[in-house]
Amino acid sequence: MPDLLDHLSSRRSLPLPALSEPGPSPDELAAILTMAVRVPDHGKLAPWRFVVFRGMGAEAAGAALAGLIEKREGALSEVRDRAERTRFTRAPLVVAVISTAAQHVKIPIWEQQMSAGAVCMNLIHAANGKGFAATWLTEWPAYDNEAKRFLGIAPEENVAGFIHIGTPGEAPSERPRPVLSDIVTTFEGPA
């Protein structure tokens, strides 16, 4: 499968300003999310779900975040206000991947959470396969219960990622990768 190997050997995220219109159509998004959930999932619990931010919903999310910060910190500078208001409109589409991991008699929470990470990466690969670029962010709203409530995410749920998706507006640059000799050892028997 040379295409897959080429992709895995060269894939990169793009900075948000390079995620241009158009984003995926509803049909393209459905195909991307269908591929995204094709991940290993110990116990078949499907311990994840999606929240899609686009258009007016994405604008409303940003306005709610700006309001939340203003309530906490007082009047916002123009720059700060814009930063919050545009948090979900910097790319044509944002998909929140939510980990719904919960105590289970057999499956550790850690394994359920890792499955949500796999969904994020699969979603990015699927978006790339459909010709889109994608960037995996979390940022402060992922860790703020009040912000999560505005975004429809329960306190016991975790944001695995806000995956920003758009048409690539530039070619990605390379970035350094770990040297295998720094991260690989061969087990040669108990210490």
Residues within the interface to ligand FMN (CB under 6 A): 12-13, 135-139, 161
CA atoms of 128 and 48, how far apart (whole Å)? 21
Q: What is the CA radius of gyration of the chain?
A: 19
Question: Are the C-beta atoms of residues 96 and 164 closer than 8 Å to each other?
Answer: no
- Between 12 and 38, CB nearer to ligand FMN: 12
Binding-site residues for FMN sit at 11-13, 38, 42, 136-138
Q: How far is residue 99 CA from its own chain's centroid?
A: 11
Q: Which residue is nearest to ligand FMN (CB)?
A: 13
Q: How far apart are CA 90 and CA 95, in angstroms?
A: 12
Tokens of 162: 């806000």
Give the span between the Cα atoms of 168 and 149, in whole angstroms.
Answer: 31
Closer of 68 and 137 to ligand FMN (Cβ): 137
String of DSSP letters for 68-93: HHHHHHSSPPHHHHHHHHTTTTSSSE
CA dihedral 54, 4, 12, 165 (to 10 degrees): 0
> How far, CA to CA in Å, does 65 sit from each of 39, 69, 89, 159, 161?
32, 6, 13, 16, 17
